[in-house]
Structure formats: C-alpha cells, structure tokens
Chains A and B, each alone.
Chain A
Amino acid sequence: MLAYLDEAGGNPGRSGHRLSIAAQRVVSEAREAIAKLFNFARPERVIFTKNITEALNLAISGTVRPGERVVVGSMEHNSVMRPLRHLERTMGVRIVKVPYPATGVPDPSDFARLITPDTRLVVVNHASNVNGAVADVEAIAHIAHRVNVPVLVDAAQTAGGYPIDLASSHIDYLAFTGHKGLLGPQGTGGICIGENVDPEPLIMGGTGSQSEKEEQPRFYPDKLESGTPNGVGIAGLLAGAAFVMERGVDAIRVHELSLVERFEQGCRAIPGVHLYSPGDLRHQVGVVSINVEGLVCSDVSAALDEEFSIMTRPGLHCAPAAHACLGTLPSGTVRFSFSPLTTADDVDSAVAAIEAIAAASGAQ
C-alpha cells in the first residue's frame, strides 16, 4: 500500500500518464489474483466494491424484480437480510427461508424442496460469522442449477481460508470481503459474476471508458464499477491475496482448524463455558462462539480486552437470523476468530483467560 502511494496513486483507467497506468496495473493485477484464487476464468468479471455488503447489494438489487421469489439460508448476515427485507417491503419480493438445524449446518436437500423454477435467486452464507458453520454451497448450487436458478454465495468468512473453485461449481455470484481471510484492508471487497448472469449496476457513473456516451457501458468490469476505485486499498488486497496464495488455502485451513480444535478442547474442559460449534470440524471455519454461565457476553468481552488484551466481538454480530437458529437470540455470544497469523500460544492464552473469567463469574 505504501508502494502504491509512493509509486502509483493516479486514477486507474482515467489517463495515460505514468501514475494512472501504474495504478491501473495494480487494479488489474488484483483482479487477476482474485480470479486465480477462486479458479475463475473471467478476471474482467471480478468486480471491486467498497465491501462485501455492497457486493451482496449489487447482486440482490441487480437481479431481483418486484414480486419475485428469493430462497435464503437461515444463517445469513444482515448484509443479506436487510436488502432482502427492504425489497420485500418496497417491491413485494417474497422471501422463503430454508430451515436449518441448531448446528447452523444446512442439509442441501432442504434447499431442494424450496428452490422452485419460479425462484429468482438463492442466497446462502458459505460460513457463519457467528459460529463458523459451513454450508455445502456446491451441492446447493448444483440443485439450483438443475432448475436454472442463480445462486449468490456470501463468502465473507471463507474467502482465503476455505477452498473455493468456481470452475467446478455452479455458483453464479461469489461475494467476498478484503478485510478477513484475504488479509487486505477494510474498505475492500468485491464479487465474481458468472457468465450466465448479468445484473443491473448498483452505481452508475464515470468509468474512464465510452466517455462520449451518457449511457453506462455494457461491458465488464466497467458496467458494474463506476467512480474512482479504492486503489490503495486494492493494492493492499492484492498483497493479502498474494500472501494467501503463497501459503496456500489448504495449508491455511489446516492451520486454522488445528487452532479451532485446540481452543474448543480447552473450552470444553472449563465448567460453565458453552460452545456453539457445529460439532464437526469438516463443517467449520476459524470462527467460534461461546458464552460463560452467569455473565452477559459484553462483560466477558470487556474482561478479555481490559484484563487480558484479547479482542473479541460480543453480541449479535449483525446476524440476528443466525443467532435465532443457534438459540442465542437476544442474549448473543462472544466470538473468537482465528487467522493464518494466530498461533497455538495465542489460543492457550485465550483459554487461560476464559478459565479465569469463568472462575470469577461465581456461577460454579
């Protein structure tokens, strides 16, 4: 990012001067890197947005028309549920929620029952930001493909930490954020748009192309990317994606799962600690939610930060649907996240801190 500010920093695609060209190179390289990471054959259909929320809004608003039917999972974030509820209220869009078990891991056959040929879009969270539960999105996309219904996958928790292969699946929209598993900065994200879908743009304006026309270009990526992009952020996203590819998504997954296992084993040995995990590491990513008996989650999180310098997120994690599924609405949970840079020592420190907090809770 510093190199981008020092050596590039022109407006990508807007001019032919050296700083603009240098900036355009970075943005194009980032598009190629993201395409490579997800084995996606069309880098020009990798669209950068300011975050995954915008990417999800783009796919939803650009696809669904008044009165149409949308099938959605039960572990969705509000970045999916709020746009859908807005369309329900303003355009009479019909939302059908697929019931999930309390583990948060869906049975794809439940999607099969509800994805009808008149469904306009299926939206499913690849992994929960509350308890890390993974949905078999390939199986769900396969089911939807049989009746020609496009599928939007929210990969906020999986991009960079869980294998995703767009060439071998029927996923039409893959939305990702830069600031989690891709190790990029906040304010970056995007969406891979498959060849069989062509959403309307969410934002229209200058693209540096077809400037003589007042109509939005129809070609990618310009159709869906207007205005000056977050060049410096995308440079950071490129560096993060390069790190992920160098280390390897499979190796990152093995590392994160070993940490999750260590953490969960530690927590299970502490009386009064409740885990909300799917119960099977094959269906989990590096996100774990807990509660400590006798304490509200916000006090646990405050104690972890103030007394042990361990930073967690308490509450509902902008995902009331997921908490309803897990049975933790409205009280919420304390969420721990593990990354490629987290170590076993970090996990042991967290477990020791939780043990001290549970002992001090007085519930035992």
Chain B
Amino acid sequence: MHNGNDRFRPGIITFFSSHDAVRCEAVLKRLGYSAKIVPGPKDISPNCGIAVRFDYSLVESVRRDLETAGIRFEDIWPRDVEPGGRAGVFWERLRRMKE
C-alpha cells in the first residue's frame, strides 16, 4: 500500500483467528521482515478481522518461515501487485491530497 518504498509489493496474510495474526506479525518482525497488522481486506477473506501486510516479493521465504514457526494462517495473497492497481491508486491519491 504506502510504505514509501516504490518497490514494495504488498501481500496479505489472512488468518482464522486474530491470535494467529498477532503471533505472525511478531515472528516476521523478529526474523527481520517488514510486517504490519491491518484490517482484513473483506474482498479476499471474510475470516478474521485483522490480517498481516508484508512485502510480497518475499512470499516464498515468508511462507517457509511461518510454517517452520508453526504459525497457523488461512492463505497468502498478492495485493495490488500490478503498479497502479485500484487500491494502490487510491492510497497514492489520498496521500497526495493530504500533503
């Protein structure tokens, strides 16, 4: 979304329980990944109310590390991977308007 890094390709990890989301964020941060809890995007999963946003370019190692750490998650999704994707444009415009 908008971490200020043009090369950041957002991905979203969804969960069945918010307990797992909080654990996931802690594990990813401890392993040096950029990870942030965000509202669960309702267009991709009706499950838990919160999800974890991360750099999708690292999806394979993130998946491996979560499995190794025993973190239960529903799925991992690319989010606005294409430059100029709909939500990406929204966040860019909103930030520009606020500046």
A residues touching B (Cβ–Cβ < 8 Å)?
A: 294-299, 301-303, 305, 307, 313-316, 330-332, 356-357, 359-362
Q: How far is the CB of A354 from chain B (nearest CB, A)?
A: 12
B94 touches A356 (CB 8 A): yes
Q: Are B98 and A314 in contact (CB under 8 A)?
A: no
Contact at A315–B42, with CB atoms within 8 Å? yes
Q: Decide: B49 and A296 in contact? CB cutoff 8 A.
A: no
**B contact residues around A331 at 8 Å (CB):** 42-43
A314 touches B39 (CB 8 A): yes
Say yes or no for B38: interface residue by CB 8 A criterion.
Answer: yes
User: Could you tell me if A299 and B49 are in contact, using CB atoms closer than 8 angstroms?
Assistant: no
What are 26 of the A-B contact pairs (CB < 8 Å)?
A294-B86, A294-B90, A296-B87, A297-B42, A298-B38, A299-B41, A302-B1, A303-B90, A303-B91, A303-B94, A307-B94, A307-B95, A307-B98, A313-B49, A314-B39, A315-B42, A316-B42, A316-B46, A330-B42, A330-B46, A331-B42, A356-B98, A359-B93, A360-B90, A361-B90, A362-B90
Q: Which of B41, B94, B98: most chain A Cβ within 10 A?
A: B94
- Is residue B69 within 8 Å, beta carbon to beta carbon, of the partner chain? no
Please tell me which one of the listed residues A315, A332, A362 contacts residue B93 in the complex, with CB atoms under 8 A apart.
Answer: A362
Name A297's closest neighbour in chain B (CB-CB): B42
| Contact between chains at B90 and A298 (CB < 8 Å) | no
Pairwise interchain contact B97-A359, C-beta atoms closer than 8 A: yes
In the complex, whether B58 has a CB less than 8 A from a CB of chain A is no
> How far does the Cβ of A312 sit from chain B's closest Cβ, in whole Å?
9
Report the nearest A residue to B95, measured CB to CB. Answer: A307
| Chain B residues with CB below 8 A from A315, complex form | 39-40, 42, 46, 49
CA distance A99 to B52 in the complex (A): 38
B89 at the interface (CB under 8 A from A): yes
Complex Cα distance A64/B46, Å? Answer: 31
- Kindly supply a per-residue 1/0 record for chain B positions 19-60, scoring 1 wherever the CB is within 8 Å of any chain A CB and 0 otherwise: 000000000000000000011111100100100000000000
Residues of chain B at the chain A interface (Cβ within 8 Å): 1, 38-43, 46, 49, 86-87, 89-91, 93-95, 97-98
- A360: chain B residues at CB < 8 Å are 90-91, 93-94, 97
Given contacts A299-B90, A303-B91, A316-B46, contact A356 B39 (CB under 8 A): no
Residue contact B94 to A298, C-beta cutoff 8 Å = no
Assembly CA distance A297 to B93 (angstroms): 17
Inter-chain CA distance A294–B90, complex, in Å, is: 9
Instruction: Quote the shortest CB–CB distance from B5 to chain A (angstroms).
Output: 16
Instruction: List chain A residues, Cβ under 8 A from B41.
Output: 296, 298-299
Q: Would B93 and A298 count as touching, CB distance under 8 A? A: no
* Bound Cα distance from A297 to B49, whole angstroms: 12
B94 touches A302 (CB 8 A): no
Most chain A beta carbons < 10 A, residue from B41, B42, B89, B91 = B42
Least CB distance from A294 to B in Å reads: 7
Docked pose: A360 CA to B96 CA in angstroms = 9
